[in-house]
Amino acid sequence: MNLHERYLNGETKAVYDDIYKLGSNAFDDSHIKEIEKVMKETFERVLFNLNIIYKELIEIGYLFKTDFEFNFEKPLHLPLENTEWLIKELEFAVKDFGFVPISLKYFYQIVGGVNFIWDFETNDKFIWEMADPIQISSLDSLVEEVTSEYWKEDIQRYADDDEFGCAFLNLSADNLHKDNVSGGQPYAIEITRKPTIDAKFMNEPNETSFINYLRICFDNCGFPGITRMDTNNDYKVFFNKVKPQLKKI
């Protein structure tokens, strides 16, 4: 079976392991079309899973923000009408540092944006503490950030820093900020020096790639920190209903 057939057959993680092993060869004509089919399927499943989780959260009375001023505040939004133009703007803005990973572009082209953070401004009694709900910034807000006056100057400091050693795109608040507690660096995806299928998802506890971060999120029904041993989160009823409905990515 080819990569796409294997993916549909359930070898989701193994297929991506093989894609990562290809390195720059993934962009060869002999591979890229098959990989693009895999990624299209992956992010269609991401969208499917997010819609399932969102629906079930509404059912249990999860408190989402409802008074929206910006797209990034919405629990879910489909790709924006000007997505392709915004991706070109993003690529142009980061070209001095490298490339936007293909995985992030597929996310914005197929999924759009997600923000499952509890509305602590309305009610600070969280249903689950330190659950680290999935959040990926909207494309328009990301482009606004990277085209701001001082972004290149600021990100260059991180690229030159021994600890970071690369430029990156901030995509999510960290687990502490999501619970309205002062925290650390936002979760971010690496801007890679060469074109890549996927990239490191930085500052997040699992120290993994962007796609595997999404995989971990769905393993935990959208809340990768919900099973922390130092919390008393009562999540099993929710998990038992939601998890069987989710598709492997």
List pLDDT tens digits, range 91-129.
999 999 999 999 999 999 999 999 999 999 999 999 999
pLDDT per position as a tens digit, 179-207: 999 888 999 999 999 999 999 999 999 99
Tell me which residue has tokens 């020096």: 193
The verdict on residue 246 lying in a domain is no
The verdict on residue 162 lying in a domain is yes
The verdict on residue 249 lying in a domain is no
Residues 236, 52: Cα–Cα separation, whole Å = 16
CA-angle at 138, arms to 4 and 89, nearest 5°: 85
The verdict on residue 107 lying in a domain is yes
The verdict on residue 202 lying in a domain is yes
Helix (H, G, I), strand (E, B) or coil at 80: coil
Residues 39, 7: Cα–Cα separation, whole Å = 10
Give me the mean pLDDT over the 229-239 stretch.
Answer: 95
The verdict on residue 165 lying in a domain is yes
pLDDT at residue number 143 = 98
pLDDT at residue number 163 = 82
pLDDT band at 30 (very low <50, low <70, confident <90, very high): very high
Range of the domain at 216: 3-241
pLDDT per position as a tens digit, 34-67: 999 999 999 999 999 999 999 999 999 999 999 9
Q: Give me the phi and psi of 118, to 5 degrees please.
A: -65, 140
Q: Give me the phi and psi of 121, to 5 degrees please.
A: -70, -25
The verdict on residue 40 lying in a domain is yes
Count of domains forming the chain: 1
